[in-house]
Structure 1
């Protein structure tokens, strides 16, 4: 079964993390939230406290198909500062496995050189990081480029969730969920 790990650091953007996780759970994907701050309780950018499923030190991650990085500040900086998580990200990327990031978090991938010669999107203002990392910044709500999926920000969170469902369950299930959740544009 596909397993998606969502990494939470203090200052994460709540909508981005929880809307995506909600979509994945509704689709039946094995989904785990992971705190990187040494406690299972993580405080979001808007002071909403969330209890993660596990703390990073408790994780094995060998079953990871997707690593998901929500944005938010200072959440993105806190994720990037976690050496264990960055080592896991390197291993996952080098194995050709999927990575998803939204808002400011695609900047982490850009800093590591993972977006070189790829299309990507991010929250306005972080496009400079993407371009400096060799990416083509598209400004799209969601951008899929090989094993990397990026999204623009909080308003793109559900679309990112549906994109991941389409990739890991089926496009039909994603469309069904959009209808059930009254997602209309």
Structure 2
């Protein structure tokens, strides 16, 4: 792959901070680096990063990892999979996803406004957990009248769509875990 086309995260949100390194790393303590396990806010990449010396972080911290000077992160160590996350990071992931989605609400409201059919029989909206044909048609009818301008607007105009951020977070979790996903809405296939 050409480096120019390589997608890079600018920020990660902290899922877990491991001041003594990963517990499954069997090297002596003095050889282990502190680790941050996090998720990128643009492409939802799971990453491990090494903080600068004497820096600590908390769960839900948003950390800059882009090019140039970084305050907290020294370097990104590697991209990881869901199974590489600590148990604590796995538990926090859905909640951190909801925070990212709320933080980037405009992007996800745009998804509801722009979603299209993926086949002649299935629509992107139906791929979201809890949205079937009837609810999909209600969303499409309402957006034909006027685009949604917020999650609150969506919830008020379409009965049955409560907490859209939770619905999207569940779908992103399915895509991260790779649970029989034929169509990717929010993550790119590797």
Q: TM-score, normalised by structure 2?
A: 0.28
> Which of the two has higher C-alpha Rg?
2
Structure showing the higher strand proportion among its residues: 1
- Give TM-score scaled by structure 1 length: 0.29
User: Higher relative contact order by CA 8 Å / sep ≥ 6: 1 or 2?
Assistant: 1
